[in-house]
Structure 1
């Protein structure tokens, strides 16, 4: 199988059940990366289930973590096999740790990560550390590479905690804690220190640390606080406008209040080719939502700004 052709990623002759498609896509991407001599680690989803870190749930995407250079190589290669890049509504404004690829004949998306939000070392250093002790599981009768069990647990809890400032009350955190015995928790404590993510995981430590994890009372950095609000585009645009050089502020402000078809299509791919009236309607709905929630957004942003100043950022 040549990398240029990659016949293994051609669509199946008939629709596959979603769980089968997810496992099969993991195996195919692993095989593709092996052909291209790319190191890849699969995160979350069925890989975490096989490691006993989460219950059996059907995923709708595949999360692949690579070095930044290898992530770009994988993306470019897949773009030549029928996959396309999902539009990003925050290009040039928010942090970007992954790119999402979609295919009209596959029921799953591929998220190609080059960074794990919440960890402090440079992304390449993080990947090398994870790779040095990585493990593997079997999906679709194929061996796929994954982080070792404790590293994967840390990645999962960071992913859960960045979904919002919920104080560690998410029930998935309890499942993770129950999956780790005392020795694994002590190892987790060392990994938290290694990746300098103590402030980010503090809610987990308070609720589920069992006295085995070190509580870090530092304030999380601005980047992490913004990641916790990725579901609020207006807040991220506000931060982008505030922090941008003066010469860029007008263009960013215009894009924020009058988003392009490309920006709007991030959450609704049908808008890419939709009639202008549908794009106008989507733009209007977004603007109305922003105006309605503006007081809350401003209060939230003030909290983030105060936290940043407390850290000297």
Structure 2
């Protein structure tokens, strides 16, 4: 019988050449394989039904045993990765669809509950016009993000290390050079005020089922998907102002999902962060008078500058965690330092030069922030 952690019929796709018929992710750590001609035909037989050994000729037996060693075939009728249908891709990028399938298959294998958020499901639900997303976002049961990251390491995915205090982060980022995207493993979401266990429970209990590369997975119901999208659109950031475009995007996605967003945002503790855009999205609907307090992370993100934000995070940490957080800020990983330089339009290949450049930029920000503070105090005295 055929098994896989994801499979797509790519015979109509131009991206994989004329010979590629089936793109399949093995059910054991490896890379996606392209099956064509005789191999594809034989594997389709294993998908259609279990094939007794005596029905195979000698050459086919050799191929099937090679497939079994590669994680594409099994003699177990109850194998959880058994394939019975080969679907055509519905995502713009078949490789991205297989990443969804892989993550869900690995999560299932390790008993990790997960819900895929953002991404192309929003387009399918009619919540956004854009079809494609650059990364794959999955929200897992709190406390299991490390287990999923560890399990994905066998498939060549590595964790991008935190470069400041973990309280600043709401996800782990996994990257792999061969898959063409990153995976963000969320364990909470900025602006959601409910405790992490309740937040995930509400998300997963109301989620809908979709198939990615033949693998069944969960994605948020439209109201929760719209709330996440709206939070992303208006999330405060001390480095830039999302402005009216972010607000307009949030209003539009909430309107498309409907007024049910109001009650679900209230249950999720997300209404305080979205009360203004909710009022704009549903002007004829009366919102609760007391929506509750803003989540602490949302308040920190409203800091007037990056320096003020980092200081607010530091003040929220226990004393024993502050020295490491400060060190990570001054001397980050090579990846973060190089990304910081590239973001400022001054890409640097040398990790040392990138770190020194970032350090100099940080000193400049502190000086400018201090100068603005002095100017404000002077104006207030006057």
**TM-score, with normalisation over the residues of structure 1?**
0.75
DSSP-derived class of the 1:282 partner:
helix
Unaligned stretches of 5+ residues in structure 2: 6-24, 35-90, 343-347, 374-382
Residue aligning to 1:10: 30
Of 116-125 and 165-174, deviating more is 165-174
Quote the offset at 1:62 in angstroms. 0.7
Query: Residues 37-186 of structure 1 correspond to what in structure 2 (within 5 A)?
Result: 37-92=111-166, 94-164=167-237, 166=242, 169-170=245-246, 171-180=248-257, 184-185=258-259
Quote the offset at 1:43 in angstroms. 0.3
Of 206-215 and 77-86, deviating more is 206-215
Query: Residues 196-215 of structure 1 correspond to what in structure 2 (within 5 A)?
Result: 196-212=269-285, 214=287
Residue aligning to 1:267: 339
Query: Residues 293-312 of structure 1 correspond to what in structure 2 (within 5 A)?
Result: 293-294=365-366, 297=369
DSSP-derived class of the 1:100 partner:
strand
Q: Distance in 1 between matches of 2:372 and 2:128?
A: 31
- Contact 1:89-1:262 at 8 Å conserved across structures: no
- Contact 1:89-1:265 at 8 Å conserved across structures: no
1:195/1:102 Cα in 2 relative to 1: closer, same or farther (>3 Å)? Answer: same
Q: 1:238 aligns with which of 292, 302, 311?
A: 311
- Contact 2:233-2:242 at 8 Å conserved across structures: no
Q: Distance in 1 between matches of 2:235 and 2:252?
A: 17
Of 27-36 and 118-127, deviating more is 27-36
| Per-residue Cα deviation, 1:47-103 (whole angstroms, up to 9, x for no partner) | 2111111122421211111112332322221112211111222244x4332101111
Q: Which has the larger radius of gyration?
A: 2
DSSP-derived class of the 1:121 partner:
coil
Quote the offset at 1:244 in angstroms. 4.6
- Contact 2:190-2:231 at 8 Å conserved across structures: yes
**TM-score, with normalisation over the residues of structure 2?**
0.63
Matched, 1:279 2:351: yes
How many corresponding residue pairs? 286
Q: Distance in 1 between matches of 2:372 and 2:365?
A: 11
Q: Distance in 1 between matches of 2:335 and 2:286?
A: 42
| Per-residue Cα deviation, 1:108-145 (whole angstroms, up to 9, x for no partner) | 11111111221222211111122222112333344321
Q: Distance in 1 between matches of 2:372 and 2:150?
A: 38
Q: Distance in 2 between matches of 1:162 and 1:109?
A: 21
1:36/1:250 Cα in 2 relative to 1: closer, same or farther (>3 Å)? Answer: closer
RMSD: 3.7
Quote the offset at 1:243 in angstroms. 4.3
1:250/1:35 Cα in 2 relative to 1: closer, same or farther (>3 Å)? Answer: closer
1:9/1:64 Cα in 2 relative to 1: closer, same or farther (>3 Å)? Answer: farther
Q: Which has the higher contact order (CA 8 A, sep 6+)?
A: 1
1:266/1:153 Cα in 2 relative to 1: closer, same or farther (>3 Å)? Answer: farther
